[in-house]
Structure 1
Amino acid sequence: MKIVHVITALPADGAEMLLYRLIRTSRESGVRHTVISLSPEDTLAARIREAGAEVRILGMRPGAPGPAKFATLVRWLDELDPDVVQSWLYHGDLMGGLALHAANAWRRLRGSRAPRPALVWGIHHTDLRSTGSSRMTRWVTKACAVLSSRVPDSIVCCGEAAMRSHVRGGYCAAKMTVIPNGFELDVFRPMPQARDALRRDLGFDVDAPVVGIVGRYHAVKDYPNFIAAMRRVLDVLPDCRFVMAGRGLDGDNRELVSLLDKAGVAHAGRLLGALRHPETLLAGLDVFCLSSRSEGLPTVVGEAMACRVPCVATDVGDTAWLIGDTGLVTPPENADALGRALIDMLTMPAEERSRLGLAARERIERVFSIETSWRRYEETYIRTTNALRESRAERLNA
């Protein structure tokens, strides 16, 4: 099977990392992957190449698709001749869908009667309001909703909440299926030495409780909520320490540094920026925190759970379903509730917190392994391709 993935960009974020892991997991099954990034070269491109997939960089500028770039995308889809085109995220869905249908029309004009590749859209967000997103992104989501009944053959959602939200927003319910994100259990795993190493490397006291948060710097992640919760925790547990990692979470981010200073919590935190191997950080935490105001199925929460770290998170998207009874969830945009939940988790007996971490790991093993995720994607591709061929045969025989 030949699969071409069309994705908005390739930072090491949630949906993009899922794509990378699916490629790694499926490389022994004879599947050939090509990834087309609409944006310029980014962090994950080299790692995807290392995993054995071809990567093509279209290099569009944000908000400016341009006819020449679109024509290049059409030409690439034509020459790659895939069995399946899997698009990722709203811009990838719109551009990939329109380009595939244009490539198919171009083939017909040349006299080709080859069957069109199956087109599968990928939704990895829950809030159709696209909180904190640009006007262009909001327009793209509306366009995708209008086109969803005619352009894609199937639509994969990362969770039940994402599917419900998009159906309410006008997406075609009949084409939707849910495939939860999967996690690499051999990469994200308990590391007994990580706890002491993290405290030593960051200059924390060996017994200091440490809370971590990982993600890109974006309004939807609601870092002001996390920082306000930090203040509440430190008022009760002054020895607690905090780690913030991810793209834009570094000392060059003046806005973030100012927020920490104004809250009076800068002394208790470390800004680590983007990490190539976040698993070593996650495994050294006492508690992982998610403060977002919107998510799909948050990859980093599952990664922390796989490292046997209990989580405190806002109840957005499918986060509560992912965590189950292995952690605590609070309402979004409520720093008091988030702070109280962190305090509750940090002050519970160590044995009980360890039990929650063990249950978290077991839940990921049972429900959210990357092998299970890939198996369901492969089944969707086969089912969608067969349905498309049967439909074409019926039209030809009519």
Structure 2
Amino acid sequence: MREVRVLSVYEGFFSGGARILHSDVVRGLHGPAQRHSVLSLRGEVHREATRQRMEDDACYRALTGAGVPVSALRGAVAAVPDGPGDHPAAPAGAHPEVHTEADLAAATRAAAGADVVLSLKEQPLSLLNHPRMPFRPVVVCLHRSDPHNQGGALEALLAGIASGRVRACVCCAESTRDAYAAAGVPAGLLHVIPNGVDLERFRPDPLRRARVRADHGIAPDAPVVVFAARWDAMKNVPLFLAAALRFLREQPAGRVLMCGAGMTEHNDGLTAAIAEVFAGEPQLARRIGLLGVRPDMEAVYAAGDVVSLTSSWGEAAPLCLIEGMMCGAVPVTTAVGDAAALVDGRGLVTPPDADAIAAAWSTALARRTDFAPALGLAREVFSRTRMIAAYADLITRVHAESARAAA
């Protein structure tokens, strides 16, 4: 039997959990049975106060290193306002849903060589739905729980379903399935495939822990909270900083590490937020490490004792909580998306209140040995192997059903 050719379409290469996870899936599936390629609508984006070139992105390097062909329609910078949503707009002066002749020609050639198309989130559907695009079965990979907060993406998804192009939707969480079903997506198209991670990479590691702590001048026994998120309103960074203020007051040796796109001193919005929250107590702010985008998050998590999430909306199955847990950090999260279910029995859930969050961090530190057995038992639950097998099965079924319908 001929291999199944699968094209994944990304809005762009920029730091974020969905791209990390999807790129891991593509690498895991690329082989004799399925041949994968990736098309990015942008070769460079500017978002979360960070300019990100495709060639500099860790996902791009991982994909190409695994032999997966990656191309881009445009190299132009997409200027993106920071805030809700997770999709870059078109270059200045262009409507985000207007595609040039060159775009259409390149995308048409890429899709014509595929048997199945995977759309990373809904945003690429504005292109994939174009009447000039080859009619290929599309599987949309959904990674959020707020379909109405994605600009025109929901309308594009429903249009793709109505036209028959969209044959399935992967939901990374139960909250995703529920939200999109309520938004009008037929339940039969929604398939939940829980997020998974590479358990060989994400694991407790004393050597990594010691190295990262030494690199940042952190004592071996100092309590460390890790926050891995991009600079985005949904992440509620001000709430996290307010909790950090209280935590650092109570923990004289405590440290906080902030990672992700925009989590650098070059982000004026973040530095202003820190200055505002820590006004009058700048000595505490000096115990916050702004690490930006890190290719070695497994080492950062291993260096931490707590992994925290303070998001207000939009999350589905946050990858930072899973990765942090697998490295031995106790998760503390607000109840958004499937986060509460992910950490049930393995960590703590808090209301969106700075005092409660800071207190939960201290409780997590005190109970870290209590949570350790549950974190160890959870490893197979979050296995990358199970996730990739489920994706492989769904892609194979969608291809077979499409082939039978065309016969």
Does structure 1 retain, via aligned residues, the 8 Å contact 2:195–2:382?
yes
Which SS does the other structure have where 2:195 is aligned? coil
Deviation at residue 73 of structure 1 after TM alignment: 4.3
Mark the CA change 1:222 to 1:127 in structure 2 (over 3 Å): closer, same or farther.
same
Does structure 1 retain, via aligned residues, the 8 Å contact 2:43–2:73?
yes
Identity of matched residues, %: 28
Which SS does the other structure have where 2:14 is aligned? coil
Q: Which residue identity lines up with residue 299 of structure 1 in the other structure?
A: L
Does structure 2 retain, via aligned residues, the 8 Å contact 1:215–1:245?
yes
Deviation at residue 36 of structure 1 after TM alignment: 0.4
CA distance in 1, matches of 2:160, 2:29: 30
Of 66, 69, 76, 2:99 maps to 66
State whether structure 2 residue 218 is matched by structure 1 residue 204.
yes
Mark the CA change 1:2 to 1:27 in structure 2 (over 3 Å): closer, same or farther.
same
Of 158, 161, 164, 1:145 maps to 158
- Determine the structure 1 residue equivalent to 2:115: 83
- Determine the structure 2 residue equivalent to 1:54: 69
Q: Which residue identity lines up with residue 205 of structure 1 in the other structure?
A: A
CA distance in 2, matches of 1:16, 1:296: 14
Of 371, 383, 388, 1:356 maps to 371
Deviation at residue 198 of structure 1 after TM alignment: 2.5
CA distance in 2, matches of 1:29, 1:213: 39
State whether structure 2 residue 93 is matched by structure 1 residue 93.
no
Q: Which residue identity lines up with residue 318 of structure 2 in the other structure?
A: P
Q: Which residue identity lines up with residue 161 of structure 1 in the other structure?
A: S
State whether structure 2 residue 390 is matched by structure 1 residue 382.
no
Which SS does the other structure have where 2:262 is aligned? coil
Instruction: Give the number of equivalent residue pairs.
Output: 367
Q: Which residue identity lines up with residue 158 of structure 2 in the other structure?
A: A
Deviation at residue 329 of structure 1 after TM alignment: 1.3
Q: Which residue identity lines up with residue 224 of structure 1 in the other structure?
A: P
- Determine the structure 2 residue equivalent to 1:108: none
Q: Which residue identity lines up with residue 371 of structure 2 in the other structure?
A: L
Q: Which residue identity lines up with residue 360 of structure 1 in the other structure?
A: L
Structure 2 stretches of 5 or more lacking a match? 45-53, 79-88, 91-95, 279-283
Q: Which residue identity lines up with residue 11 of structure 2 in the other structure?
A: T
Map 1:1-398 to 2 at 5 A.
Answer: 1-41=4-44, 42=54, 43=57, 44-59=59-74, 61=78, 62-63=89-90, 64=96, 65-79=98-112, 81-96=113-128, 98-99=129-130, 102-104=132-134, 117-130=136-149, 137-150=150-163, 151-264=165-278, 265-294=284-313, 295-331=315-351, 333-346=352-365, 348=366, 352-363=367-378, 365-393=379-407
- Determine the structure 2 residue equivalent to 1:396: none
Q: Which residue identity lines up with residue 132 of structure 2 in the other structure?
A: A
Deviation at residue 318 of structure 1 after TM alignment: 1.1
Q: Cα deviations across residues 138-192 of structure 1 (Å, max 9, x unaligned)? A: 1222332354343301111111101101111222222111111110011111111
Which SS does the other structure have where 1:86 is aligned? strand
Instruction: Provide the TM-score with structure 2 as the length reference.
Output: 0.85
Q: Cα deviations across residues 279-307 of structure 1 (Å, max 9, x unaligned)? A: 11111101111111121211111111111
Does structure 1 retain, via aligned residues, the 8 Å contact 2:27–2:68?
no
CA distance in 2, matches of 1:235, 1:38: 46
Deviation at residue 251 of structure 1 after TM alignment: 0.9
Mark the CA change 1:148 to 1:293 in structure 2 (over 3 Å): closer, same or farther.
farther
Q: Cα deviations across residues 23-56 of structure 1 (Å, max 9, x unaligned)? A: 3322355421110011124213232111210001
Which SS does the other structure have where 2:307 is aligned? strand
CA distance in 2, matches of 1:205, 1:307: 19
Which SS does the other structure have where 2:256 is aligned? strand
Deviation at residue 69 of structure 1 after TM alignment: 4.5
Which SS does the other structure have where 2:151 is aligned? helix
Instruction: Provide the TM-score with structure 1 as the length reference.
Output: 0.86
Deviation at residue 231 of structure 1 after TM alignment: 1.6
Q: Which residue identity lines up with residue 12 of structure 1 in the other structure?
A: S
Which SS does the other structure have where 1:4 is aligned? strand
Structure 1 stretches of 5 or more lacking a match? 105-115, 131-136, 394-398
Structure 1 vs Structure 2 CA RMSD: 2.0
More divergent stretch after superposition (119-128 vs 261-270): 261-270
Which SS does the other structure have where 1:243 is aligned? strand
Deviation at residue 230 of structure 1 after TM alignment: 0.7
Does structure 1 retain, via aligned residues, the 8 Å contact 2:223–2:254?
yes
CA distance in 1, matches of 2:192, 2:102: 32
Does structure 2 retain, via aligned residues, the 8 Å contact 1:301–1:311?
yes
Q: Cα deviations across residues 111-153 of structure 1 (Å, max 9, x unaligned)? A: xxxxx532111111112242xxxxxx41222332354343301
